[in-house]
Amino acid sequence: MKITNLFVLASVSIAVLSACQPLRPLPPPVVRPIPPVIVEPPAPIPIPAPVVIPPIIYPKGVERPSLSDYELRVISDKIYLNEASSSPDKLMIWAKGENFASVGIGHFIWYPAGEPKRFDETFPAMIAYFIKNGVEIPRWLANARYTGAPWRNKATFDHAKNDKEFQQLKLLLLNTKELQTKFFFDRIHESIPQIVKLIPPQDRQRVIANYNALAHTKGGWYPLIDYINFKGKGIKASERYNNQGWGLLQALQEMRPVTAGPQALNEFARATQAVLERRVRNSPRANNEARWLPGWRNRTNTYRHSLI
């Protein structure tokens, strides 16, 4: 017992003595300089130069009468009948043997990516027209303006008919018939400088006068709008047989001098039939394009009578 107490007393004494001794100062910390971190500035992001679209310079004498809402509606219904038999199920088709889809009341041509574009592709411009006029369109369609039709061929097109995107586009086209017709109207006027430029100088004033005669004829916009949609502008070198085309350029060039009125409608109908018959004569025999002539004549005969 006494021995234990002695140990305890000794321990306490040592602790008290330790507590009374001054603390030794700690050595100062070693501060090593930190090398500066050199951060390279990020590479500047290249900003593409803005696309400058030159203003359209119209030849002297070209006129542009306006279209009433009634005219737009009547013309759109007629084009819808001509191209799609007024059937929603025929608003979007892919014809056998073709490498493009045909969509809308005017069956705008739309190629998938990577396909050769022999004929004038018009649907990407129609998508841009939707956007310009404030039409709400699906994001996939806005992107497809640049990437091409979402179907690789007729088989994938036919397989997709019940897909959500397919039905979205079909409904959009069905609900914008008059705007599509307005696109045709604007396209004609914007095409006139290109068309006139390709006409021999000695024929230009006659062609401009005939164009103005149709534009000022009651119901004259229907044949102009329908034909540029039906057979194109006629300015592409790939749309030729024996170096002769069949578009609006060639039809206006074929017309004899006329003044506004029924004679302008009749002369335009005659001219379109003449260039289409010439196309068939010039076409490769293997194409058997003569089989289309009766339908083409029926369609161009509708140009003889005013719809308004």
Task: Examine residue 41 and state whether it is found in any structural domain, yes or no.
Answer: no
| 157, 257: one domain | no
pLDDT digits (tens, 9 = 90+) for 126-165: 999 999 999 999 999 999 999 999 999 999 999 999 999 9
Residues 184, 212, single domain; the answer is no
Q: Which of 189, 221, 254 is the last residue of a domain?
A: 189
Per-residue model confidence (pLDDT) at position 161: 97
Of the pLDDT bands very low, low, confident and very high (cuts 50, 70, 90), residue 50 is very low
**Assigned domain for 102 exists:** yes
Q: What is the mean pLDDT of residues 257-276?
A: 98
pLDDT value at residue 95: 96
**Residue at a domain's end among 189, 224, 256:** 189
Residue 43 in any domain: the answer is no
Contacts of 54 (CB under 8 A, 6+ apart): none
Q: What is the pLDDT of residue 241?
A: 96
Q: 162 and 249 in one domain?
A: no
Same domain, 174 and 235: no
- Give the tens place of pLDDT for each residue, 16-48: 444 445 556 656 655 566 555 454 555 554 444
Asked whether residue 98 falls in the same domain as residue 130, the answer is yes
Residue 214 and residue 292 in one domain = yes
Question: Is residue 120 one of the residues assigned to a domain?
Answer: yes
| Whole-angstrom distance, CA of residue 137 vs CA of residue 125 | 14
- Average pLDDT over the chain reads 87
Same domain, 170 and 71: yes
CA distances in angstroms from 219 to 109, 166, 268, 304, listed in the order given: 26, 34, 12, 10
* Last residue within a domain, chosen from 189, 207, 222: 189
Is 182 domain-assigned?
Answer: yes
pTM for the predicted model, two decimal places = 0.75
Dump pLDDT digits (tens) for 227-258.
998 999 999 999 999 999 999 999 999 999 99
- On whether both 185 and 251 belong to a single domain, the answer is no
- Is there a domain that residue 19 lies in? no
Q: Between 14 and 279, name the one with better pLDDT.
A: 279
Identify whether 38 is part of a domain.
Answer: no
Q: Supply the range of the domain harboring residue 303.
A: 198-308
The confidence score (pLDDT) of residue 19 equals: 47
pLDDT in tens, 193-207: 999 999 999 999 999
**Is residue 13 pLDDT above 80, yes or no?**
no
Instruction: Report the candidate in 249, 93, 87, 83 with the shortest Cα–Cα distance to residue 181.
Output: 83
User: Does residue 210 carry a pLDDT above 90?
Assistant: yes
Instruction: Tally the domains of the chain.
Output: 2
Pair (226, 152) in one structural domain: no
- Select from 162, 131, 164, 166 the least CA-distant residue to 151: 166
Are 229 and 184 members of one domain? Answer: no
Question: What does the pLDDT look like over 58-106, one tens digit per residue?
Answer: 677 788 778 899 999 999 999 999 999 999 999 999 999 999 999 999 9
